[in-house]
Chain A
């Protein structure tokens, strides 16, 4: 018997994910269904339609894999923000329906917080500087005085978005199991020459839009092989990310560096951060891909942490928060 079980729903962007986790951290199910657009980027409306279509199937599959019945679930957690409105609303609606039907408490979870907490749990990390890099977020954070403070973030677009837009401009296509960022990584591994592109760090914040524009312009000029452009884009962007993470590490004097989010899968980014962390005698770890990309397990786990501290969400207050900041959330369970 479990002390308690939480079902977590993630629907921030293109993934609809459901995870079932026990209160002591055993992962019983992690099921995901990703929306792949025909062309172009994520259209929030189409993605939300996808989520609504697959929700029932994904939830049923999660129960099946976990081998538990709906009535054994003790709490329902959902990703309440930040994210794309229509997508978030599908998850919230499903979560509300489940919570009312099963008559169980509901917990609205901050998506960025969930990324950090699942990383701490899985990688057994205590008090890290976290670099969270995905299609929608680029955040350097660390715990200080009750919250995960944001030390640095992007001033315009997220790194994953930057890579994806460049890839689409270059006519590259993603395949199941191989997102655009991974396609760029593969091409970059064959690039040799560093092409000059703008390197923009402002304090601990970053800007990628100038880099993207410059890279796209060079692409259109057609002077450089695509491999060299991918290589240079990665070298510049990841050096910027590593530089701001290093600054946060020096500033906070923490001893651990944690890398998470979809872009964390990139081997070159991992290598740069590892080298940087070693120089500071800090321990470096990468969250495994299935828990670094958007997933329901992280929402379930963060839901459990909140629930244990009485932080449940009433139905009336379960509206989605599109721009909910990480540093708005109290983290009472944190013990460094």
Chain B
């Protein structure tokens, strides 16, 4: 038994338990019956291997992330530090406007640091951000992350933030996104930020109708 199940996500089951006397999270990726077994296994292993690597790179870039204690590919399980705190998703709507802007700016800085170091998070929803009791924000769930410095990848990453805000925090999309961009700009500089934002605008228009198909 590896601990108590605290969340059954779409991809993985998250258990809270103990490992060598530490309070830890066991993230175990579950087989997906709808996928061909060989494809499923390949995706599971790829993500289980990949996630700790990118969590580590993010930490080097100055972004708080959980410490990785162990990786078990056979079981598709990652053992990592349990980060105390509250999910941004659960608190963002109830904050004062001032606090919301402050937190959003901080989030923007973290994303800027990732991008500056060539890391794309790949799943920037507010349930993957934890506000710790010390007032720091940690990012989790790097299962869909990749290494890239492409404008396109950066644009998509920010587009996902906006998408996440629009579904879970639709009243504050603009307020939060603008503050996120301010923070992002502090890290990335105004030229790059402008380029990325132009790309975001382009991405929003895409994906539907093309002139000819």
Contacts and interface: CB of A to CB of B under 8 A. Distances in A.
Interface string B179-213: 00000000000000000000000010111111111
A15 interface: no
Contacts of B159: 155, 205
B167 interface: yes
A327 B11 CA distance: 26
B39 interface: yes
A202 B145 CA distance: 9
B20 interface: no
B206 A203 contact: no
B87 interface: no
A156 B10 contact: no
A322 B124 CA distance: 29
B125 to A, nearest CB: 7
Contacts of B205: 323
Contacts of A135: 213
Given A145-B170, A251-B10, A153 B207 contact: yes
B35 A203 contact: no
Contacts of B11: 247
The majority secondary structure among interface residues of chain A is mixed
B43 interface: yes
Contact of B163 (A136, A204, A249): A204
A44 interface: yes
Contacts of A271: 34
B167 A149 contact: yes
A164, A202, A205, most chain B CB atoms within 10 A: A202
A239 B35 contact: yes
A194 B38 contact: yes
Contact of B34 (A164, A236, A275): A275
Interface string B17-54: 00000000000000011111011000100000000000
23 contacts: A41-B212, A44-B212, A82-B209, A83-B209, A136-B208, A145-B170, A150-B163, A153-B208, A155-B156, A155-B203, A157-B207, A157-B210, A158-B207, A158-B208, A194-B36, A199-B39, A202-B156, A205-B160, A205-B163, A239-B32, A242-B35, A251-B167, A276-B33
Interface of B: 8-11, 32-36, 38-39, 43, 122-125, 144, 156, 159-160, 163-164, 166-167, 170, 203, 205-213
Given A155-B156, A157-B210, A202-B123, 12 more contacts: A44-B212, A137-B208, A144-B167, A156-B207, A157-B213, A202-B122, A203-B144, A235-B35, A239-B39, A243-B10, A250-B8, A272-B34
